[in-house]
Amino acid sequence: MEARSVHLLTWNVGRSVDALWLAIGHIARKLSARQQGPWIVALQEVPVRDLPEMLLGDQIRTRSQGTLGLVTYLEGQGPARTRSAKCIVSTLDLVAEKPPRQEKEHGRFVGAAFADLRGEWRDLAVACVHAVSKKDPRGRESADRHAAARELRSAVERFAGGRPLAVLGDLNADPYEEELLHEEGWYAFRERERLRCWQDKPGRSHGGPRGLFNPMWGLLRDASPWGTLAYDKRPHTAKLWHHMDQILVSDELADHLAPPEILETLNAEDGEQKLTTAGGKRTRYSDHLPVYAALRVNEVNRCHPSNSN
């Protein structure tokens, strides 16, 4: 059987129209080059003032020559000049025809956009999330961020309903921070083996959250790319690079997800376009860098044959 992957990409485009179209163009070129498998793209901070939902959908279809479409769209709150949206973009044959459910913003979390998928793997649930920022008054204290993570995770799990889950987005925390590690937050494990021990723990099925696998730990290293976000605003942090943009998956998917990559270049019309300045010390276009990973669909379908019925 020919190997086939679902390509996952997440990028906080930082309210930059240029960054948004660069991402769409990159994926369209990959598709035209016959890169096997569909794409699911989670975008955060899409500029609402310049691109309301209808215009965004039309532009995505036009700029991708009909290969990509807008799946789900959730607009934020606040003044129009600073308001942004979260959305999921995908190849058109992969997405459910009915509008996906959405959780509106409330309380302390920023929000999530959701998509039910169909086709080869209709049981996969995908969430595009944008967690509360440390700069936001709602996220300055660790306890508030932890509560926000718990609320956002709860919304994601209500949507997923126990199905295999991929969470893509800007979590506004590094993999080692409390809101990522704690059982009442994202409960994202560094190692597949520890995740499996938790999932197989006697009595766990009667209570407690399911764990998620966080492959971003493999990118914590003293080498380029140093992270996904260049951010050194004190007093929030004295560290320059952070790994706040992440891809998390549920246990069923952990063994089938290729190691993620932080992308420092994207394919543009005139060749490779660098997303960082000289020396890779700062970002261009957006203050974030995209994260990409491939999910091997055929391998998962062999392990979960009900998904291919």
Query: What integer is the mean pLDDT of 143-160?
Result: 88
Helix (H, G, I), strand (E, B) or coil at 286: coil
Read off the pLDDT band of 308 (50, 70, 90): very low
User: Which residue range forms the structural domain that includes residue 213?
Assistant: 5-308
- Number of structural domains in the chain: 1
With cut-offs at 50, 70 and 90, classify the pLDDT of residue 309: very low
- State the pTM of this model: 0.89
Q: Would you say 212 and 253 are in contact if contact means Cβ atoms under 8 Å apart?
A: no
**pLDDT tens column, 272-291:** 899 987 656 667 889 899 99
Interval 34-46: pLDDT, tens: 666 789 999 999 9
Q: What is the CATH number of the domain that holds 248?
A: 3.60.10.10
Laid out side by side, the sheet with 68-75 consists of 68-75, 84-91, 39-47, 5-12, 291-296, 261-262
Residue-level pLDDT at 90: 92
CA 44 – CA 19 distance, rounded (Å): 11
Angle between helices 53-63 and 17-32 (to 10 degrees): 40
Give me 67's structure tokens: 């290969």
Higher pLDDT, 233 or 177: 177
Which of 73-82, 106-115, 218-227 shows the highest mean pLDDT?
A: 218-227
Mean pLDDT of the chain: 82
Q: Is residue 3 very low, low, confident or very high in pLDDT (cuts 50, 70, 90)?
A: low
Q: Is 278 exposed, middle or buried (0-12, 13-18, 19+ CB in 10 A)?
A: exposed
Residue 101 pLDDT level (bands cut at 50, 70, 90): low
Which whole number is the average pLDDT over 110-114? Answer: 79
Question: Could you tell me how many helices (H) and strands (E) the chain has, helices first?
Answer: 7, 17
Quick one: pLDDT band at residue 76, thresholds 50, 70, 90?
Answer: confident
Structure tokens at 172: 């506004």
Mean pLDDT of 226-244: 72
* Alpha-carbon 269 to chain mean position: 25
Type of residue found at 152: L
Return the structure tokens found at 262: 């932080």
